[in-house]
Amino acid sequence: MTTAAIRYADPDATLAALTDVISLQLAHRSVRKFQPRDVTDDELTALIAAAQSAPTSSNLQPWSVVAVRDPDRKARLAALAGHQAFIVQAPLFLVWVADLGRARRLADRAGTALGAADYLETTVIGFVDTALAAQNAVVAAASLGLGTVFVGGIRNHPEEVAAELGLPAHTVATFGLAVGRPDPTEHAGVKPRLPQDAVLHRERYDADAADKHIAAYDERLTAYNTRFGLTGDWSGRVLERLRGPEAMAGRHRLRQVLERLGLPSR
């Protein structure tokens, strides 16, 4: 099967415009089992260079990243992030930080106001730019033969994570990224995505036309899940994940936590 057919679990899916980079992106999967070989400092430097090459709003560059290798610190972060064992196993754990502290310190040194940093828009910029940077690093990691998996659970206990990493005021850990050489014995595959007709709208959004493709996707994802000993379809997963604050692992308190960390959202 082609990379497009695998990505969509559809034997008829093809891409006429295909490059090595796009093929690499289509083959992406989350890796949760790693070989013991370390990620070298040269590889880490390359990942961060790729991350810094991502777009950034007004060149604010409002993010930082903490590279964690210490086994004990990884274990503590894993506990805070929902006891996910692969965080400990991965040789490198990157914690990506929305960082408005750098601009705040710049304003303090210049003796000037920074009122716009108190608004939701600026916090959103911090999160968006951090995500863009991290995704660049993920593609770069794949090109180096490294596997990755994002860890949103790092937001379960933002204040405790901040204390563990010594984060300054006006910053927050947005997510983690486990990095390492994939273990070929891991029983996992390329998870199918929604058909393009469910997400691509031309000129104007057409909800009725797009949503007609969800049922077929539910069938494909159910078949994929069954292959790997999982259950359920996509629709059920979405409804379960978003049913209410009790499904958010503590993240329903994020607005209040951001306020305490110095990232208000007027």
- Give the tens place of pLDDT for each residue, 38-56: 999 999 999 999 999 999 9
The answer to whether residue 223 is domain-embedded is no
Joined together, the tokens standing for residue 47 give: 């990942």
The answer to whether residue 81 is domain-embedded is yes
- Mean pLDDT in residue range 63-80: 98
Q: Yes or no: say if 133 and 226 are a contact pair by the CB < 8 Å rule.
A: no
Give pLDDT, residue 1. 85
Number of domains in the chain: 2
Rounded to 5 degrees, φ, ψ at 151 are -130, 95
Give pLDDT, residue 205. 98
Residue 4 reports pLDDT greater than 90: yes
Q: Residues 35, 25: one domain?
A: no
Q: Residues 51, 106: one domain?
A: yes
In Å, how far from its chain's centre is CA 118? Answer: 25
Residue 27 reports pLDDT greater than 90: yes
Domain at 65, CATH number: 3.40.109.10
Distance CA 5, CA 216 (A): 15
Residue 255 DSSP one-character state = H
Give pLDDT tens digits for 115-163. Answer: 999 999 999 999 999 999 999 999 999 999 999 999 999 999 999 999 9
Q: Residues 150, 19: one domain?
A: no
- Mean pLDDT in residue range 213-223: 97
- Mean pLDDT in residue range 1-27: 95
How high is the mean pLDDT of the chain? 97
Distance CA 43, CA 61 (A): 21
Q: Residues 52, 157: one domain?
A: yes
Q: Residues 10, 44: one domain?
A: no
Helices (H) and strands (E) in the chain, counts: 13, 4
The answer to whether residue 17 is domain-embedded is yes
Residue ranges making up the domain that contains 62: 31-183+252-266
Residue 187 reports pLDDT greater than 90: yes
Q: Look at residue 182 and give its three-state secondary structure.
A: strand
